[in-house]
Structure 1
């Protein structure tokens, strides 16, 4: 079982994510904005962060860069889950330190498979 932090500002999406990730057997903590997410990264020490891009009080790119600055050895995996679908968005997120990128709307099965792959240290 891994500890997963979900940072998502849309309540319905957050509830869906929490239910799916818990259903896959993981411990879940959640935040509804970027600042709260960073606080939980420091206090909860998650194995993986599922991170939205467009959020209040620091966007996902800022949060990802901050995680990487405090975790240069990539102990915490970051999966961006966002509606931003342009290749330039994917490139920007990866440059900020994201380990994987999923575009909304998403398949719950794909999300769980990719979370598992990141936790196990293998390519999705």
Structure 2
């Protein structure tokens, strides 16, 4: 299966997402902030990044923009996870380069389906 980077400062969300994706056969790397997510994506090959928008230091939006700006990570699929559900927030997420946007709370089944759909579209 795929290698997925999970970045979320909430340990409960991080653990839930990691557990569900590992159950589906994915390899996961977990980090707790944006800077660590950016470093992990640059230093090890991953097939998908799941980024919380609100993290200390560097937000998921900033990480997404940085990934898109670098040629080596520009094509990396990104899904944003957030409690922010306003239409403007969603537009901002897609404008930053996200491939999908999942609002918390979310169903683990929906998360798995969306991860698979993004990976399939990306040919990974």
Once residues 81 and 19 of structure 2 are traced to their aligned partners in structure 1, the CA distance between those partners, rounded to angstroms, is 16
Partner of 1:54: 54
Q: Deviations over 1:45-104 (max 9, x none)?
A: 211001100000100110000010014884310000100110000000100000000100
Partner of 1:27: 27
The answer for unaligned runs of 5 or more in structure 2 is: none
SS in 2 for 1:92: helix
Once residues 43 and 73 of structure 2 are traced to their aligned partners in structure 1, the CA distance between those partners, rounded to angstroms, is 18
TM (normalized to structure 2)?
Answer: 0.94
Q: Does 1:83 align with 2:66?
A: no
Runs of 4+ more than 6 Å apart? none
TM (normalized to structure 1)?
Answer: 0.94
Taking only aligned residues, the RMSD between alpha carbons, in angstroms, comes to 1.4
Once residues 105 and 95 of structure 2 are traced to their aligned partners in structure 1, the CA distance between those partners, rounded to angstroms, is 23
Q: Is the 8 A contact 2:79 2:101 kept in 1?
A: yes
The answer for unaligned runs of 5 or more in structure 1 is: none
Q: How does 1:1-124 map to 2 (within 5 A)?
A: 1-71=1-71, 74-121=74-121
